[in-house]
Structure 1
Amino acid sequence: MKNIKSFIAQVLGVVTALVLFTACENDDHVPEFTLQAASEDVAFQNDFLAEYLLSDETSDNIAERFVWNEVDFGVQTEVSYQLEGSISADFDADGAYEFDSGTLTTTNASVTVSQFLIMAEGLGLDDDPATTDEEGNPNNTGTVYFKVSAFAGSGEGTDAVTSRSDVVALNITVVEKSADSGAGIQISSWGVVGSGYNDWGAFDDAPFYTTGTDGVYVAYVNLIDGEIKFRENNLWDNNYGDTDADGTLDAGGDNIVVTAGDYKITMNLNDNTYTIEEFSWGVVGSGFNDWGAAGPDAKFFYDYTTDTFKVGVELIDGEIKFRMNNEWVTDFGDTGADGTLDAGGDNIAVTAGYYMITLDFNAGTYTIEAADILGVVGSGFNDWGNAGDDYSLTEVNPGIWVADNVELIDGEIKFRVNEAWDINYGDTGADETLDAGGDNIAVTAGTYLIRLDLSEGGSSMYSLIAR
């Protein structure tokens, strides 16, 4: 018995030694990872505006969505990013007036108008036309600076290999309030309802906007064949029709017959009259639609926050003009190539690209600025880009994109930027919420109004409204 116990003890000793030896051997082979310099430096991918207009009325809107490339440090670990903004080119200003996105794992980040306004405050800018700088110039313009950094891991990059972009300088302008502007143009409580617009309330009424005259309101609306009325707060408690079809507003009056088209509707509650007139502005030319031979003009949409008309459009090399109602009765060009709208003026030379065009009839000017333009793509529209261009949407307010009369067929669609897949949106949960890179959206054949909300603090919702 004693010999057996001795034998077992010897065996256990050998096993223990082997385990300890193996453990020591493993301790000497801890895997090591070596960070490498980025294969490609981080850099901004989006085009920036020549000027960013800032106002309290649009403070919740996105001023700019910064987009940059994905960076590879040669290791299988998370890569993080950080977007920073400053009122100093050296990024050494008071932190209260700087922007810091914190650690991000995405390759894009949005900065709101309100965040730009904080930086504007740090520069001493304001919206009071009575204040000026030391030289007597308007005190509402300045420059802010942004950069993005990429680093391995989830920290702030202080102990890791880091890639930093070039610094971009952005021009900001705080919109000054004129003495008689009051609260500016606003969405009124009145709207257009009917079979000629929203099937008597199947979706929100088309809004009327305030004007410079109390009691006078204007709406810019795309109608279909049918009837309309005007009502307040999307309710029937207070509504107007026209019993005698004489242009007079009658409380609870008869429906107003309309035909399909784009219209400007003016309602005057001071004398209870209204007018409905054909009204649309569009881009025409060899730089877009072969002077109308290759399709309708690119339609402008009204932006009440700036009292201007805007259109997002893809142009080709050529020339363009702006004309009213897709005909040559009223048109504008630019004879001096100075950004001024001239009635019947010279053609405007353009180069291929994606643009946001703005018409300001108050100032008699226009701008054509390179921009990221969202479009509709899919088997439900253009065979995923194989059967023609995407259908361009227009950003009528920062982050709010619209299109009307979009002809879809049975299939699926998504929304993407500049006909590329770098930035695209679908709907993964089929809950009418936009998801970056989300699932395709099933659609059925028909004509649609489309609205996307990508504004900062917005709903991220979209709507496809059959007409």
Structure 2
Amino acid sequence: MKKLNIFAYCLAGMLAFSSCQDDRDDNPTILHPETFTLNASTETVYDLQNIETIDWTCDVPDYGYSAAVTYSVQINKDNNWVDAEGENAASYVTLEATYSTNQLKISAAEMDRSLIILNEWFDAETFPTTEQTVFVRIMSSISTVSGYEAYSEPVEIRYLPYYMEVSLEPKTMYVVGDHNGWAANDDAPRLIATDEAGMIFHGYAQLNTQFKFMTTDSWADPNYGGGSGTLALGGGNITATPGFYQIDANLNTMTYSLRTCTWGIVGSVFDSEWKTEVQLTYNSSTGALEADVEFSAGQFKFRQDGAWDYSLGGSLDELVYDGGNITASPGRYTVRLYLNGPTYRAELIPVE
């Protein structure tokens, strides 16, 4: 019996030592804070037209170690915070600017623009001229790991808005990574927004091994990384296997998806029954999907994955989904399909 007790004590000591070793500074145990406090005045009326910034602070959420925290501001009409689900948008709006400290200097102009979008106050004639209220909360996230977002207790603030024209034209989002030297410029693949608010994106890119999403051409503005289908503001590089992908990203649900895909040419330029399809291959020198083809007189379209779920037609200068057939003259061509946005287009280059 004494031998068994000695063994038990030794085992307990080993486990305790192991636990301490696992919780060392270079491998901390990450906590998921339930909430924290936003220090915002409920008495002040923020006159957004006559101030440059709204200066708030918040408590630093307890992640169990000195994490690099990113803070985002979210606003809602009431205190019922509903996340996006499927095609249904979230009940709240997240301001684009993010903060690396808990000292928040929020642009009054960005707050006003976001309030206009939240309340759909797009008509100058019906724009409110009296004091309004809105619920505000802060979302915190850590760049080293996704899924640890935390939210401050919401605060109802008072403000006076002012009218500005807000465009909801489709936005684009850059896909930058080691496939293009991490450069956010006109040569970078771009996803196209498919919703009015510019929060849901769709597009294509030839990826290498790592990439991120950028909302502008500046790293000082919001960018998104993450992994396993989850996005995080300022998150780490997303990894991929080299290939050509359909990419979808949803900033309402903070999710993304990657799916390898192919594109081909099909039409009566090959056979009258539209059964022959010529596959396109990505050319890194031109940034296009290409093929050398022999056309008969007729029509053709581009389609993805040998099916009609995604097809492009219409004008070569501006291809659209489910667009009309494209007419071609007989001859030999190099066909180039450009899907790097913001407009899909194609070229037929005669081969002598």
TM range (shorter): 0.3 to 0.5
Structure number with greater Rg is 1
Q: TM-score, normalised by structure 1?
A: 0.29
